[in-house]
Every structure is written in structure tokens, then in C-alpha cells.
Structure 1
Amino acid sequence: MTSPDAVTTPLRTVSDWFKSSFSTTSAQCVEVRFHLDSVLIRDSKYLRDPANAPAAQPVITVAAREWHVFLDNVVSNETESADTILAVEYMDGGRVRLRSGDRTTLTFSQGEWSAFLSGVKAQEFSLVRSH
């Protein structure tokens, strides 16, 4: 994603929740939010069930300094790295499960993950842009 020698420009430190431009629906996607020194990830499917309380929605928090490692792992299909506390588990049927160090899990369909991966490759989820 970014090389150590790359000149970078900060894109943002705070954002609203957003999804990849490659996602075809707003109800089934990986959603990301930049918040100061953290990046938050959630699954938009959770709120489709009216029985689910919005305040209880599972959210994975990644330190901003570890975010680029996670994105690099996503692109290279690596499942875990000693450099990050977020594991990526590839499951049957193309589903993908994210698992944080505190055991929070989010499971995405093949289509959801494919749209997210395309967004990662297009640098839609980058905290910095290489020049």
C-alpha cells in the first residue's frame, strides 16, 4: 500500500461511516469510519434486523498506525500478521470473518468482501495517499 520512503499526504482523521464505491447496496457492506487515532469497522447487515439495538452493534477498532498493515494483508490474502491484532479468516463459500484481539467478530459475504477489497485496491480506505 505505502512504502516507507513514500511521500504521503494525510487524507482525513475523522469521517462519517462509509463503504466502498464498489458496493452495490448500502444494506450489505463493510463500513469504515476514521476517528482520530483509530479506524472503526462494522457490518451494515446488523441494522437490517429491527431487533438489533444500534448501540450494541459490534464494531472492531484498529489503531490508525496498524491500519496500513491490515490493508496490506487484505490485498495479499494473509490471514494474520504479528504486526496487527486483526485477523482475517477466509471461510467456505467465499465468506470472510474479521476477528479482533478482544474477540469481536464480523462476517462478510463474498460479495461484500470483494467490494471492500476493490475499494482497498483503489485506496478508498487509505489514511494517507502516496505521491
Structure 2
Amino acid sequence: MEMNIGRDKDDIFSNQNQEVKLELRKEQLYINKKWLKTGTVKVRKELITEKKTIVVPVTREILVIDNMVFDSENKIKKTKTIRIPLREEQIEIVKNPLVLEDIKIYRRKFQKVEKVVQSLKSEKAHVEIIGNVNVIDNETH
């Protein structure tokens, strides 16, 4: 922005102005952070069914009654066999869960440093003297 101070028609001190303010500004940098969703994770367990065939010997206990009838010559004339089941093994299936893996799932935060480079603008006042003017440099007012 340029202002004219002097004796021409664009003089900023015309119209009885005794003081003119010139605001000098500069940019300041503020850093804000926000969370951005970068991914989604779905965790699930899959149930796999497997058929297993096992051959198991099963024992049975029976009572055997052999009835033999003899003739007069002491020879077996007739044989009769009776079988009575007393007990038998019965297969009992018990399933126990066994832990194969222990998987831990958790969130963890870590920080890394990122370099941000920005150009900031600022304004400075420059006084340009035109003509043959005697300048008095007085630092105290």
C-alpha cells in the first residue's frame, strides 16, 4: 500500500488530518492436528468343522452255557449252547476345548516427527524521500 505525503492533491494530510496510522501486519503460524481415519480392521473367528474317524475296539462279555447231552456210550448226543450278554463297553465321546493360540489385539499410539515448512509474510514500512529535503534523525520523541 502506498501513501502520498506532500503538496499534491493525493496528500494524505489534506482534509485537516493531523495523524495517519499505517498498520503493519505479519502472518503467524498455528499448528492444529486432527484425527483422520486411515483404515478399518475386522477381527473374527472362523469355525472349521472336520470329520474324524477313529477305530475303537469294543469288548463284550457274555455268559456261555454249553449243555451237552450224552448217550449211553458216553458220546455227545446233543449239544445246546446258550449265550447271555452280561456287559459290554460303550463308547463315550467327550470333547474338551484345547487352546491352540492366544492372540492379543490392542491399540498402540506412537509418535513421529514431521517437518512442516511454510512461508510467512510480514509487512515493513519504507520511507522514500523525494526531492532535496533535510532529514533530522531524532530517535527520541
Same fold (TM over 0.5): no
TM-score, length of structure 2 as denominator length:
0.14
Give the helix-richer structure, 1 or 2. Answer: 1
The structure with the largest alpha-carbon Rg is 2
Give the strand-richer structure, 1 or 2. Answer: 1
TM-score, length of structure 1 as denominator length:
0.15
